[in-house]
């Protein structure tokens, strides 16, 4: 991997392209009435994926970029769960039929902060309102420091088959600097309990670019993680945006690695995981060769949504909870971010949509190109443009940011087929950004490209 390119492009702030257009471009022009109409217009054969956002934690991790808050009173969580159940019923009623569900993802915050019986009730509400397929993937994000045996049993009974564990780093100095002290032994015990309960799909989340982090400490975290043999890894670069996430001001900026150091950490982690037999998938995922995600990457059926890379082929993602984002064929919707307004909307019998975005034909074309670049490091512009009734020449001429990337050897263009050079794949977001008609480089809304 080329350090000269990391120096040239690494400091630029770019989206992760889990959607296109990205969330900063959502507006109040899309409201609850718009969402209700879009739901009622879903085609008869549509299936859906469900995302449930649980915005509570017991303590704040200072690196966190999620919409969450610290809660001590369990009644607040119980009340929120009841609101989620009402929202689920309302959305299903608006659709007007019990559609199939192939994927369910609980995110946060800490979804397992719910009482086990509340989690069971939430799963029952979804199964009542939707036809959750027996083969559905049901995934839950977990903080290993707070997971109880009773919650593991509730997850088993609910049919959970995948768990994503926040690890980030096993380096004690890094953990103290981000206010997340979590021992290897705690993590290992949770992995063992999950597997004994039959929850076989185990994901680990790692982060590079954290305060006091070094290549050596990153590699030690990988080494310890490999002892627990997770099926997948997600490896993210820390996004330091203290203007938007005030708690990040607790992190000393002087302790953060610079762009080149972040690049070296990312490369070190990637090389170690590949040497251990994991397949690198897109920008930031790694999976065992027999894992469904690795197979989807090989088959070129990999997709990308708000949870990152996914095997989910559906065109409908229904988001539930404060700040949750949904995706329908017509566009994107996002619920009220703050819990109070969100809960009040649901209590008043209204959908909680606060903003969204209605897709244009040009958006759909660019979204397809960006998704293929992010998922495959390549895009057949001729094929994609033909499916959208567009000309690849026009698309290329509008992508002015592509020219320096071609000159620097980051991108190869052969006819209408674009490919990211193998030694430049860490700059895939820079390549995708060349097709982003909404990008405003002057706004510091996103994480660094490296």
Beta strands 162-168 and 201-208 are parallel
Chain region(s) in the chain for CATH 1.10.10.920: 361-448
> Distance between CA atoms of 249 and 246, rounded to whole angstroms?
6
> Distance between CA atoms of 67 and 324, rounded to whole angstroms?
9
| Residue 356, helix vs strand vs coil | strand
pLDDT tens by residue, 76-116: 999 999 999 999 999 999 999 999 999 999 999 999 999 99
> Distance between CA atoms of 237 and 13, rounded to whole angstroms?
12
By the 8 A CB rule, do 119 and 151 touch? yes
Above pLDDT 70, what percent of the chain? Answer: 97
The residue that leads in pLDDT, 4 or 391, is 391
Return the pLDDT at 13. 78
- Please report how many Cα atoms fall inside a 13 Å half-sphere around the Cα of residue 75, on the Cβ side: 0
Structure-derived torsion over alpha carbons of residues 221, 223, 229, 233, reported in degrees to the nearest 10: 50
The residue that leads in pLDDT, 34 or 423, is 34
Residue 326's DSSP bridge partners are: 333
Return the pLDDT at 182. 96
Return the pLDDT at 8. 75
Range 361-448 classified under CATH 3.40.190.90:
no
Q: How many CB atoms lie within 10 A of CB 292?
A: 16
Q: What is the mean pLDDT of residues 4-29?
A: 86
Please identify which residue in the block is written with the tokens 């620097």.
408
By the 8 A CB rule, do 232 and 293 touch? yes
Chain region(s) in the chain for CATH 3.80.30.20: 25-358
| Residue 24, helix vs strand vs coil | helix
Q: What is the DSSP string of 401-419?
A: THHHHHHTTSEEEETTEEE
- Of 148-152, 318-322, 360-364, 422-426, which range is least confident? 422-426
Give me the count of residues in the chain. 450
> Distance between CA atoms of 423 and 404, rounded to whole angstroms?
16
Return the pLDDT at 139. 98
The gap between the terminal CA atoms of the chain, to the nearest Å, is 12
pLDDT tens by residue, 323-352: 999 999 999 999 999 999 999 999 999 999
| Residue 199, helix vs strand vs coil | coil
By the 8 A CB rule, do 371 and 21 touch? no
Q: What is the mean pLDDT of residues 169-193?
A: 97
> Distance between CA atoms of 98 and 338, rounded to whole angstroms?
29
Nearest CA to 141 out of 85, 87, 72, 61 is that of 61
Please identify which residue in the block is written with the tokens 């034909």.
361
Nearest CA to 93 out of 130, 47, 68 is that of 130
CATH architecture of 25-358: Alpha-Beta Horseshoe (3.80)
Sign of the CA dihedral running 223, 224, 229, 234: negative
By the 8 A CB rule, do 234 and 202 touch? no
Which residue spans within 169-263 are E strands per DSSP?
201-208, 232-237
- Helix, strand, coil percent content, the chain, rounded in steps of 5: 40, 20, 35
């Amino acid at each position: 991997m080329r350090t000269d390119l990391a120096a040239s492009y690494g400091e630029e702030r770019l989206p992760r392209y889990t959607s296109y257009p990205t969330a900063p471009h959502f507006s109040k022009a899309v409201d609850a009435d718009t969402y209700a109409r879009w739901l009622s217009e879903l085609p008869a054969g549509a299936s859906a994926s469900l995302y449930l956002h649980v915005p509570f934690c017991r303590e704040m991790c200072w690196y966190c970029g999620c919409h969450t808050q610290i809660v001590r009173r369990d009644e607040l969580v119980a009340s929120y769960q009841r609101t989620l159940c009402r929202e689920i019923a309302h959305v299903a009623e608006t659709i007007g039929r019990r559609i199939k569900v192939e994927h369910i993802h609980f995110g946060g915050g800490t979804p397992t902060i719910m009482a086990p019986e509340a989690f069971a009730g939430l799963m029952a509400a979804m199964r009542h309102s939707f036809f959750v397929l027996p083969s559905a993937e049901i995934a839950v994000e977990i903080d290993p420091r707070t997971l109880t045996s009773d919650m593991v049993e509730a997850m088993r009974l609910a049919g959970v088959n995948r768990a994503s564990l926040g690890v980030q780093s096993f380096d004690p100095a890094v953990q103290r600097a981000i206010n997340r002290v979590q021992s290897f032994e705690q993590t290992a015990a949770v992995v063992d309990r999950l597997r004994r309960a039959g929850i076989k799909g185990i994901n680990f989340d790692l982060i590079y670019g954290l305060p006091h982090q070094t290549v050596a400490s990153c590699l030690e975290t990988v080494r310890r993680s490999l002892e627990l043999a997770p099926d997948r890894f997600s490896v993210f670069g820390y996004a330091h945006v203290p203007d938007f996430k005030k708690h990040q001001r607790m992190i000393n900026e002087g302790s953060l690695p610079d762009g080149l150091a972040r690049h070296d950490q990312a490369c070190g982690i990637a090389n170690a995981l590949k040497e251990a037999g994991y397949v690198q998938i897109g920008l930031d995922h790694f999976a065992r060769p027999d894992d469904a995600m690795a197979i989807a990457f090989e088959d070129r059926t990999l997709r990308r949504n708000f949870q990152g890379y996914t095997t989910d082929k559906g065109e409908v993602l229904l988001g539930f909870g404060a700040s949750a984002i949904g995706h329908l064929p017509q566009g994107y919707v996002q619920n009220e971010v703050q819990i109070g307004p969100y809960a009040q909307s649901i209590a008043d019998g209204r959908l909680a949509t606060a903003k969204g975005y209605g897709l244009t034909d040009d958006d759909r074309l660019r979204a397809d190109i960006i998704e293929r670049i992010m998922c495959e490091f390549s895009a057949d512009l001729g094929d994609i443009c033909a499916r959208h009734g567009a000309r690849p020449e026009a698309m290329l001429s509008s992508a002015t940011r592509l020219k320096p990337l071609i000159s620097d050897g980051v991108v190869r263009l052969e006819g209408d087929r674009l490919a990211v050079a193998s030694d430049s794949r860490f700059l895939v977001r820079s390549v995708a950004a060349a097709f982003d008609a909404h990008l405003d480089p002057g706004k510091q809304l996103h994480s660094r490209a490296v």
